[in-house]
């Protein structure tokens, strides 16, 4: 049983303690899936039923993989244990009905069970992000056309075209409108409320007018197709769980929650999960919650996700329940050493990855990993960008003032290109240096923040 799924290291063993709430900080390749699998099995072994456990994963693919891992572990239990075979066979038979899914699939389940009280058809369709964006683009097209044809916003529209060019309204402007709409919905705010708060700000009024009309078109589409998108699923599930009788019923049904990739959770999702695992004062109930997260791996940043939520939940759980998986079993020692060298300088409170066996002292004969940085503070173009960002965040800025800031930003655009060429030249020099050392192009990997940096 050397390669057994059930074999755990000392730090992994500490993370599967089912007698308390646990928040696990899990570095890359540290065996978090193994820990999740073992915790699930220990809950079953303790007498908790499969139907009483909720496991939340980030993707449907991850949910399927987790279910298969659990299946393999149960089979291993059956093959290697002479006791409790009946219990493990029953668990295996029930596994296909296990509550292992994404947060949105779980929300959909709760909504379907309470569809009557919400006044919706329980057979609703789920609108995925691709279809949603396609419909929104079409709705924004109609809304923008309405705004232009009305003549009400002629001055501000002409200013936008004059500042950014003829193609701006048909391209980038529409993308920005969708981003604004998503950020507003992620914060749980209504467009009507924001519209009422605005005073004499023509640009903001134009944006909100377009978004309000877009929302009308999008709602018509959803009604026609009996559809709910991911934001709807979160909001409606949260609404259902605001009823104490409903919350109490679910708390009785679901006894344990396991949540993976918790660094990619947003406030609404946290609120939904806390409805099941906390008392009426928001204090966590004993033994109910197990979360795995790593702020270093918070790479998605969509739908309002906030990696700091993991830290807040860890604080709620308390020091005794905060565990760490820092030993990386996936990479070679040299790679682990290089990662620690680079990211310890980039991430506050960086938790270094460890080498299996504890030997972290590695002698590197030559550098295989180079971090190229540049100082952008104080540059003129950065100052222009900063001014525009501050103006957007502020209130009651006059359209003429905003236009002058945009003009300033536009005039500095050539300087931005110079800065990018400096980045490219720096990278080119590094590559030429490696060529001089005898390396070939296929031996070199360049990682950049955005594709535009290297044409």
Quick: pLDDT tens for 278-322: 999 999 999 999 999 886 665 544 555 677 888 899 999 999 999
Q: What span, in angstroms and rounded, lies between the C-alpha atoms of 40 and 169?
A: 52
DSSP-based three-state secondary structure for 54: strand
179-196 pLDDT tens trace: 888 777 766 667 777 766
pLDDT of residue 405: 74
362 pLDDT more than 60: no
User: Across the chain, what does the average pLDDT equal?
Assistant: 83
403-446 pLDDT tens trace: 677 777 666 654 444 455 566 777 888 888 889 888 999 988 88
Q: What span, in angstroms and rounded, lies between the C-alpha atoms of 412 and 409?
A: 5
Long-range contacts of 125-129 (CB under 8 A, 24+ apart): 125/225, 125/226, 125/227, 125/228, 126/227, 126/228, 126/229, 126/230, 126/233, 127/222, 127/225, 127/227, 127/228, 127/229, 127/230, 129/229, 129/230
Six-digit token pair at 431?
A: 């590559």
378 pLDDT more than 50: no
Mean pLDDT across 59-63 = 91
Instruction: Please report, rounded to a whole number, the percentage of residues in the chain having pLDDT higher than 90.
Output: 44
Six-digit token pair at 197?
A: 């708060």
pLDDT band at 450 (very low <50, low <70, confident <90, very high): low
122 and 115 in contact (C-beta within 8 Å)? yes
Q: Among 148-152, 240-244, 284-288, 399-403, where is mean pLDDT lowest?
A: 399-403
121-147 pLDDT tens trace: 999 999 988 898 899 989 999 999 999
Q: What span, in angstroms and rounded, lies between the C-alpha atoms of 259 and 273?
A: 9
For residue 288, list its beta bridge partners: none
pLDDT band at 366 (very low <50, low <70, confident <90, very high): low
CA atoms within 13 A of residue 113's CA, in its CB half-sphere: 13
pLDDT band at 260 (very low <50, low <70, confident <90, very high): very high
16-57 pLDDT tens trace: 999 999 999 988 888 999 999 999 999 999 999 999 999 999
- Give the global pTM: 0.76
pLDDT of residue 176: 87
Name which residue leads in pLDDT, 66 or 181: 66
């Amino acid at each position: 049983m050397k390669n057994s799924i059930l074999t755990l290291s000392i730090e992994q063993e500490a993370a599967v303690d089912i007698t308390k709430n646990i928040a696990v900080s899990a570095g890359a390749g540290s065996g978090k899936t193994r820990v999740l699998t073992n915790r699930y099995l220990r809950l079953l072994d303790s007498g908790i039923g499969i139907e009483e456990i909720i496991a939340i994963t980030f993707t449907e693919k991850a949910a399927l993989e987790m279910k298969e891992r659990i299946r393999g572990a149960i089979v291993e239990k059956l093959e290697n244990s002479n006791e409790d075979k009946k219990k493990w066979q029953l668990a295996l038979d029930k596994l296909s009905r296990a509550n292992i899914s994404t947060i949105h699939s779980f929300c959909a389940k709760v909504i379907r069970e309470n569809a009557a009280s919400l006044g919706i058809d329980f057979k609703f369709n789920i609108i995925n992000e691709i279809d949603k964006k396609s419909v929104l683009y079409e709705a924004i097209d109609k809304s923008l056309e309405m705004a232009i044809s009305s003549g009400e916003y002629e001055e501000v529209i002409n200013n936008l075209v004059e500042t950014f060019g003829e193609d701006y309204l048909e391209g980038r402007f529409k993308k920005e409108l969708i981003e604004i709409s998503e950020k507003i919905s992620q914060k749980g705010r209504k467009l009507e409320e924001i519209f009422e708060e605005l005073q004499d700000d023509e640009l903001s009024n134009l944006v909100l007018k377009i978004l309000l009309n877009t929302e009308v078109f999008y709602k018509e589409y959803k009604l026609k197709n009996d559809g709910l998108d991911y934001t709807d699923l979160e909001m409606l599930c949260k609404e259902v769980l605001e009823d104490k009788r409903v919350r109490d019923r679910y708390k009785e049904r679901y006894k344990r929650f396991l949540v993976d990739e918790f660094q990619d959770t947003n406030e609404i999702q946290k609120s939904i999960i806390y409805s099941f695992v906390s008392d009426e004062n928001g204090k966590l109930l004993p033994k109910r919650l197990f979360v795995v997260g790593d702020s270093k791996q918070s790479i998605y940043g969509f739908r309002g996700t906030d990696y700091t939520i993991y830290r807040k939940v860890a604080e709620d759980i308390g020091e005794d329940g905060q565990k760490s998986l820092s030993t990386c079993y996936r990479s070679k020692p040299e790679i682990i050493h290089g990662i620690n060298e680079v990211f310890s300088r980039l991430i506050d409170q960086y938790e270094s990855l460890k080498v299996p066996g504890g030997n972290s002292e590695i002698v590197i004969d030559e550098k295989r990993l180079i971090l190229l940085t540049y100082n952008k503070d104080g540059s003129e173009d950065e100052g222009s960008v900063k001014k525009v960002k501050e103006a957007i965040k502020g209130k009651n800025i006059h359209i003429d003032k905003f236009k002058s800031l945009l003009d300033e930003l536009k005039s500095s655009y050539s300087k931005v290109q110079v800065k990018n060429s400096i980045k490219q030249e720096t990278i080119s020099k590094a590559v030429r240096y490696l060529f001089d050392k005898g390396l070939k192009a296929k031996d070199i990997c360049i990682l950049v923040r955005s594709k535009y940096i290297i044409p």
